[in-house]
């Protein structure tokens, strides 16, 4: 598609500085963009590359002096470019209707404009809202509810008694409502504890590929509005996660953990069971969260402690070989001095 720069400026509520007659034929990264294409700069460290880019238009939060480009000036270039991606590349929908190879129980309730792909299975008592898209090979268990405009990609398994909100995105291979890891040890054996709770996922949640979210043992595992999961995250039974939280790849959360709003758990962070993590906490990659974390903290390490202290510790850690050599040298000198001092005390010292 070719779009006048003026129309784009109206769409983004942006100020045009430069040629208002330009036609934009596409979007591209800063270094790959060609004439007629639009790119963006949101990080100051890339400002030096603005002049060398072949992009005709740059979305920025200011005009770069000495750069011969047309600028679209906005408050948040990254977000504005995201909006343009939706404009230039509208999401493709699955074909509306039920594929002949799909299997639906007799008492399934479907909204309008629903898409159900090949070999999908929808069990008894399921309620599916308007414009929901169910991909190929998806299983939806009994008495599950899926809200309007939700997108479920192929080969997702949604077990029984799961509630999914509106505009949720679930990527390939995710498993929602698997049994929690609960066993009672009795007379030398581990006896399975029935996991009879459910999972409740609020609106605008995105769940990455191969994520597993366990059902509650008795109550529900709950995921708050707008929370985003990267790939291969595991959430155990009865976990409560707040709104707009980010869980990055390979995060693992043990059972009965409560996580607040706007929390970030970076890649491979792990959380011990029955803890509480307050709002706006950031846990750096590979952090082992081993006790409750107050709101607003940034933590690192295993067991975790203040990120600032962790950074200082890393500096010391790099110096450990030199410090070890220095300690050995000082220990030798101290041992020599102690021998000389002992000799002086006993009158055997040299004059």
Q: What are phi and psi of 241, to 5 degrees?
A: -115, 135
3-state SS record for 111-138:
CCCCEECCCCEECCCCEECCCCEECCCC
16-25 burial by CB neighbour count: b if 16+ within 10 A, else e? bebeeebebe
pLDDT of 345 reads: 82
User: Above 60 in pLDDT, residue 349?
Assistant: no
Of 34, 44, 48, 40, give the one whose Cα is nearest residue 71. Answer: 40
User: Above 90 in pLDDT, residue 301?
Assistant: no
- Decide: helix, strand or coil at residue 19: coil
CA 221 to chain centre: 18
| Whole-angstrom distance, CA of residue 301 vs CA of residue 289 | 8
pLDDT of 350 reads: 52
99 is annotated as an active-site residue: no
Active-site hit among 103, 190, 191, 237: 237
User: Above 90 in pLDDT, residue 97?
Assistant: yes
Give pLDDT tens digits for 257-284. 999 999 999 999 999 999 999 999 999 9
Q: From the CB of residue 77, how many other CB atoms can be counted at a distance below 10 Å? A: 22
Give pLDDT tens digits for 31-77. 999 999 999 999 888 888 888 999 999 999 999 988 899 999 999 99
| Whole-angstrom distance, CA of residue 121 vs CA of residue 279 | 39
Instruction: Look at 318 and 286; give whichever has higher pLDDT.
Output: 286
pLDDT above 70 covers a percentage of the chain that reads 97
List beta partners, residue 234: 212, 252
Of 60, 75, 4, give the one whose Cα is nearest residue 30. Answer: 60
8 A C-beta contact, residue 298 and residue 284: yes
Give pLDDT tens digits for 105-133. 999 999 999 999 999 999 999 999 999 99
pLDDT of 173 reads: 98
| Whole-angstrom distance, CA of residue 238 vs CA of residue 218 | 8
User: Above 90 in pLDDT, residue 317?
Assistant: no
pLDDT category at 348 given cuts 50, 70, 90 is low
Average pLDDT of the chain, as a whole number: 93
| Whole-angstrom distance, CA of residue 179 vs CA of residue 236 | 9
Task: List Cα–Cα distances, 9 to 14, 17, 74, in angstroms.
Answer: 5, 10, 9
pLDDT of 155 reads: 98
Please return the burial class of 220, using the count of CB atoms within 10 Å of its CB with bins 0-12, 13-18 and 19+. Answer: buried
Please return the burial class of 112, using the count of CB atoms within 10 Å of its CB with bins 0-12, 13-18 and 19+. Answer: exposed
User: Above 90 in pLDDT, residue 201?
Assistant: yes
pLDDT of 327 reads: 86
| Whole-angstrom distance, CA of residue 59 vs CA of residue 77 | 6
Please return the burial class of 275, using the count of CB atoms within 10 Å of its CB with bins 0-12, 13-18 and 19+. Answer: middle
């Amino acid at each position: 598609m070719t779009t006048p720069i003026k129309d784009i400026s109206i769409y983004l509520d942006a100020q045009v500085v430069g040629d208002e007659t330009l036609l934009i034929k596409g979007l591209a990264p800063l270094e790959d963009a060609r004439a007629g294409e639009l790119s963006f700069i949101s990080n100051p460290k890339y400002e030096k590359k603005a002049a060398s880019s072949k992009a005709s238009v740059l979305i920025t939060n200011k005009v770069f002096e000495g750069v011969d480009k047309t600028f679209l000036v906005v408050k948040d270039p990254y977000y504005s470019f995201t909006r343009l991606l939706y404009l230039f590349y509208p999401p493709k929908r699955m074909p509306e209707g039920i594929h002949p190879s799909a299997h639906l129980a007799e008492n399934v309730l479907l909204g309008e404009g629903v898409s159900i792909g090949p070999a999908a299975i929808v069990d008894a008592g399921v309620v599916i809202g308007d414009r929901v898209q169910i991909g190929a090979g998806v299983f939806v268990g009994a008495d599950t509810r899926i809200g309007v405009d939700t997108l479920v990609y192929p080969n997702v398994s949604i077990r029984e008694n799961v509630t999914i909100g509106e505009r949720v995105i679930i990527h390939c291979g995710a498993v929602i409502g698997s049994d929690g890891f609960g066993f009672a040890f009795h007379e030398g054996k581990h006896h399975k504890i029935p996991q009879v709770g459910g999972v409740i996922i609020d609106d605008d949640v995105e769940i990455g590929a191969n994520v597993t979210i366990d059902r509650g043992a008795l109550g529900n595992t709950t995921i708050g509005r707008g929370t985003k999961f990267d790939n291969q995250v595991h959430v155990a039974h009865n976990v409560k996660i707040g709104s707009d939280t980010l869980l990055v790849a390979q995060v693992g959360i043990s059972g009965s953990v409560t996580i607040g709003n706007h929390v970030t758990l970076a890649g491979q962070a792990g959380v011990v069971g029955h803890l509480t993590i307050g709002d706006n906490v950031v846990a750096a990659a590979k952090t082992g969260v081993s006790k409750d974390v107050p709101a607003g903290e940034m933590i690192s390490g295993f067991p975790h402690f203040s990120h600032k202290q962790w950074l200082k510790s890393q500096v010391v850690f790099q110096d450990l070989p030199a410090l070890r050599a220095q300690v050995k040298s000082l220990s030798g000198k101290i041992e020599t001095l102690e021998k000389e001092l002992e000799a002086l005390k006993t009158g055997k010292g040299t004059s």
